[in-house]
Chains A and B, each alone.
Chain A
Amino acid sequence: MIGFVQILRRDLRLAQRQGMDSVMAVMFFVIAVVLFPFGVGPEPNILARIAAGVIWVAALLSSMLSLERLFQTDYEDGSLELLTLSPITLEVAVLAKITAHWLTTGLPLIIAAPLLAVLLNMSVSGFPMLILALALGTPSLSLIGGVGAALILGSRRGGVLLSLLILPLYIPVLIFGVSAVDAVIGGFEAKAQLLIMAGFLLAALPLCPWAAAAALRQSVE
């Protein structure tokens, strides 16, 4: 537990002192969403119809931007090897790093999302659900992405490879995240979608750090 907190604090401090990562992710998020009205036209009805989907897809892509560096810097300067040798369980260390990633990337996206929803003319009734669905979904994205980030360590062309590996695995989160928001806007209950997303999160929470730690052990062998 102490190890978890220490690694989390280290990563947050690193992100704060040297990284523009979270700012870049939010800027990418905003720009990607702003491109859509240019692409599909400025009609408010069309924008309102696609708002939830556009915001979710942009959130997936921007949470992936900083994933590549999740283990990469530690891998290059050798601290990853020390981490695997240290008495802290590697799975716990991985979970701490993924938590740090979510705090620096996922959380800012959730805060920026309502603003973008206004720009896309989304119905106000959907705002609380958009935030709730993103809050449930983005941790799963960070967890799944952590596995991908661990797998590509030491490979050629890491970044593009990462997107090929994990974007297909993001599809379930995307489907239920968008459907929860659309359901509430349409006047339906979204409890089922939220429960399923919570289920994803609960399944990913133990499984993903385990798989990512296995991949990290392979990479430092």
Chain B
Amino acid sequence: MTMLFHRFANPTRFLRLAAVIQPWMAGITLLLGAAGLYLGLVGSPGDYQQGQSVRIMYVHVPAAWMALFIYSSMAISAAVGLIWKHPLADLIAKSSAPIGACFTFLSLLTGSLWGKPMWGTWWVWDARLTSMLVLFFLYLGYMALVNAFDDPQRGIRASSILVLVGFINVPIIKFSVDWWNTLHQPASVFKMGGPSIDPSMLWPLMLMAVAFNTYYVWALLVRVRAEIIANRIRILRLKQVHG
């Protein structure tokens, strides 16, 4: 396992592997995404209470899942990068951040669009919404820090520590916001459709979730490859300058 782990620390080997995986990920994303969207937007019934706006859920819920998933995978990559000085783990953490921030923003945006017809307002200080907003700020802080140094390596190291601190804090923030919300606003409007969800709705949801996941891998591979190539260009330029 450790052998395998260090085997792919070599960027050239990774680039070769990435070139093989990437088209597959793109294909699965497009295929499952199209199927999920078709089932979600056309093939599934509207909700008996929410009507047609329930279809926003097929984008909203997987995006929220991805927002949390990507932050966790960033924390794991950051830990691996700090402990074993694994160069690829560093790049994965760095390249995941903008994707995760986009998913967080997407889930906030779709939530807001859903909230307008359902609750009659674009935004409520619901516990769930608020913790997603804080997660979005954590992503922004990470991205600001990673790009704030002249030496990219230093930026990655500093932001790896930050993402680990944030990762410990996410459950604490979630708990605090839940407490705060129950104090201020005891009757919550928001209740997810209950534990039983009809298969006609579960299928598109799961398809979209898988499609979002493969999209993440696809976008991540593109970004990491770009980072590696940019690094090489930088080194070549430096060599040219120094003769």
Contact = CB atoms under 8 A, between A and B. Distances in A.
A152 B148 contact: yes
A172 B148 contact: no
10 nearest A-B pairs in the assembled complex, by CB-CB distance: A155-B148, A172-B176, A168-B137, A218-B157, A175-B180, A165-B141, A175-B176, A164-B141, A151-B158, A215-B161
Interface residues of A, number: 26
B164 A215 contact: no
Interface stretch (B28-36, B40-48, B165-173, B187-195): B165-173
A155 B154 CA distance: 9
Chain B interface helix/strand/loop/mixed:
helix
B161 A164 contact: no
Chain A interface helix/strand/loop/mixed:
helix
B89 to A, nearest CB: 16
Contacts, number: 79
Nearest to A199: B172
Contacts of A211: 161, 164-165
A151 B140 CA distance: 15
Interface of B: 82, 134, 137-138, 140-141, 144-145, 148-150, 154-155, 157-159, 161-162, 164-166, 168-169, 172-173, 175-177, 179-180, 183
Contacts of A3: none
A10 B141 CA distance: 32
Given A151-B145, A156-B149, 6 more contacts: A155-B155, A156-B150, A165-B141, A200-B172, A207-B168, A215-B161
A179 interface: yes
A219 B140 CA distance: 22
Interface in A135-169: 147, 151-152, 154-157, 161, 164-165, 167-169
A175 B177 contact: yes
A214 B164 CA distance: 12
Interface of A: 147, 151-152, 154-157, 161, 164-165, 167-169, 171-172, 175-176, 179, 200, 207, 211, 214-215, 218-219, 221
B33 to A, nearest CB: 32
Nearest to A171: B173
Contact of B180 (A157, A179, A219): A179
A207 B140 CA distance: 23
B161 A161 contact: no
A151 B134 contact: no
11 contacts: A147-B165, A151-B158, A161-B145, A164-B137, A168-B141, A168-B169, A171-B134, A171-B176, A172-B173, A172-B175, A211-B165
